[in-house]
Amino acid sequence: MRYYSTRSASHKAGYAQAALAGLAPDGGLFIPEEIPPYPRSVLSSLGSMEFPDIAFETIRPYVHPEIPDAVLGDMVRDAYPFGAPLVAVGDRFMLELFHGPTAAFKDFGARFMARSFSYLRRGESKPLRILVATSGDTGGAVADGFFGVQGISVTVLYPKGRVTPLQEKQIAGLGGNIQALAVEGSFDDCQALVKAAFADQDLQKHLALSSANSINISRLIPQAAYYAAAAGRAAVGKSDPGGEATPRVADNGVSGRQDPDRRDSALGSGGDSYRELVVSVPSGNFGNLTAGLYAKAMGAPIALFIAATNVNKTVPDYLADGDYRPRPSQATISNAMDVGAPSNFERMASHWSYDELKKSIQGVWVSDEATRETIQQVRRDAAYFLDPHGAVGWNGADQLIRQGGLPRCPLAILGTAHPAKFAEVVEPLAGKPPLPPSLARLEGRGAEGETIPNSFEALRGVLYA
């Protein structure tokens, strides 16, 4: 597979170069020259395949031949001892993406990326420095994925005071080869600092730099796998019982297992008219939704995406009128989505025209007040805890259902992070969510991030130190 820049087709690269560079030389994002279809044999088996096998089939064409099949098979088995259960909740599904070590969907991309980079840099003597900006969960997943990997160090930039205490422990509590910088600014400021670092020629000569944000193609591609897995299971009428981290209310008698009535309601009935899935994606930087679009283009049975944002509604506004207007981000209770200038929009717009995106995506935005009400409603009516981001996805779907804007298909909401990571928001509204083992281990961990001003000179000084 070859890749080229969103800003110039002349900047071509193989997978290794695109992944390790992060950004193209002209500042654009790398995109594949084609989106390869799943083989028919894979499409017909998605509903019964194990998750690592779906991940292998999803990732393989994008990394071949630079990562041999045998090596890739070992990578995905090592990266994914957990899966992405499709769990019935009320009249719909939650696609639970928080069963990994940092209880967030970012684990799927970061864990593959770490193993990929380690293989691609075998034999290299110059250390690699990874720069990553985070609005919350990316930093923890990247820190965990790369912690202790020889020859690679990670610098995570996060907006000071705008991540939860648990998120900060995951970002700034490891030490070792992980450096955490609390920036006096927003996520957009952190992202701008990272982009400025990649544009600085002197810094590029001094350090071998790469990125682990969803601007990096090696973190985005693996995320397509859980869309394909969920759509495949829904298409054949299957769902999952959940797992240790499934946040059901403990006293309702269904914790850790599937309620058949809810399953049947979510799947609906009606034969072939129920073969494709509608997916509501809580969206901020739009890497997650771009991965979903890749899965759909590869042939996964997905009818439609809902791009559900908070008040940072740059993309829903674009979908409404065709005018893309990036803006400063606003702080909300769904903080990981506080992005006013989503980087991956450039990737989406390079692959698909406005009319094509309109056919695949319905945009909607959700206020903080509606997010809080949804957390309370789902706790009361379905005995399930939503985090503030999943609540945006749930409420966005509700809005479109009331408007009659969704096809008659099974509906899945992406559970992008465990609600216990946002206990400060969730607990006053719905009670204390159960703490999964992955987060329980953080209770004794401190957080030792270094504070820097929102200044590229300050960041450069840290990186040169």
Q: 106-120 vs 137-146: helix axis angle to the nearest 10? A: 40
Distance of CA 49 to the CA centre of its chain: 22
pLDDT of residue 205: 86
pLDDT band at 258; cut points 50, 70, 90: very low
User: 86-102+220-437: which CATH topology?
Assistant: Rossmann fold (3.40.50)
Give the integer Cα–Cα distance in Å for 284 and 226.
Answer: 18
- Tokens at residue 452, please? 């820097």
Section 264-269 average pLDDT: 48
The pTM (predicted TM-score) of the whole model is 0.89
pLDDT value at 114 more than 80 = yes
pLDDT band at 336; cut points 50, 70, 90: confident
Residue 104 bridge partners (DSSP): 417
pLDDT band at 251; cut points 50, 70, 90: low
452 sits in which H/E element: strand 450-453
pLDDT band at 386; cut points 50, 70, 90: very high
272 sits in which H/E element: none
- DSSP states of 45-104: TTTTS-HHHHHHHHHHHHHTTTS-HHHHHHHHHHH-SS---EEEETTEEEEE---STTSB
E strands of 201-316, at which residues?
208-211, 277-282, 302-309
- CB-based contact 144:178 (threshold 8 Å): no
- Annotate 304-321 with b (16+ C-beta within 10 A) or e (fewer): bbbbbbbbbbbbbbbbee
Strand order in the sheet with 450-453: 208-211, 128-133, 152-159, 178-184, 450-453
Q: Which residue has the tokens 């439609």?
A: 304
Residue-wise pLDDT tens digits, 409-440: 999 999 999 999 999 999 999 999 999 999 99
Residue-wise pLDDT tens digits, 35-94: 999 999 999 999 999 999 999 999 999 999 999 999 999 999 999 999 999 999 999 999
pLDDT of residue 136: 75
How are beta strands 92-96 and 86-89 bridged, if at all? Answer: antiparallel
Section 158-178 average pLDDT: 91
Residue type, 237: G
- Tokens at residue 185, please? 């600014």
Residue type, 193: L
Section 259-267 average pLDDT: 46
240 sits in which H/E element: none
Residue-wise pLDDT tens digits, 118-132: 999 988 888 899 999
pLDDT value at 112 more than 60 = yes
- CB-based contact 177:148 (threshold 8 Å): yes
The percent of residues above 90 in pLDDT, for the chain, comes to 77
Say how many CA atoms lie within 13 Å of 215 toward its Cβ. 27
pLDDT band at 366; cut points 50, 70, 90: very high
Spatial CA neighbour of 39 closest among 18, 24, 61: 61
Q: Which residue has the tokens 């399953």?
A: 263
pLDDT value at 270 more than 60 = no
Phi/psi-derived region of residue 322, left when phi > 0, alpha when psi is between -120 and 50, beta in every other case: left
pLDDT of residue 260: 42
pLDDT of residue 263: 45
Section 157-163 average pLDDT: 92
Give the integer Cα–Cα distance in Å for 371 and 386.
Answer: 10
Section 315-335 average pLDDT: 94
Section 90-119 average pLDDT: 95
pLDDT of residue 256: 38
pLDDT of residue 257: 38
Identify which of 19-33, 73-87, 129-143 has the greatest average pLDDT.
73-87
Give the integer Cα–Cα distance in Å for 75 and 78.
Answer: 5
Report the length, in residues, of the chain: 465
pLDDT value at 109 more than 80 = yes
Section 230-239 average pLDDT: 95
Helix (H, G, I), strand (E, B) or coil at 364: strand
Radius of gyration of the chain (CA): 21
pLDDT of residue 266: 54
Residue type, 238: K
pLDDT of residue 271: 41
Lowest mean pLDDT across 258-262, 310-314, 339-343, 411-415: 258-262
Lowest mean pLDDT across 106-115, 174-183, 247-256: 247-256
The chain-wide mean pLDDT, for the chain, equals: 91
What is the end-to-end Cα distance of the chain in Å, rounded?
37
- CB-based contact 339:312 (threshold 8 Å): yes
Give the integer Cα–Cα distance in Å for 93 and 240.
Answer: 10
Domain boundaries, the chain: 86-102+220-437
Burial of 126 (0-12, 13-18, 19+ CB in 10 A): exposed
pLDDT of residue 387: 97
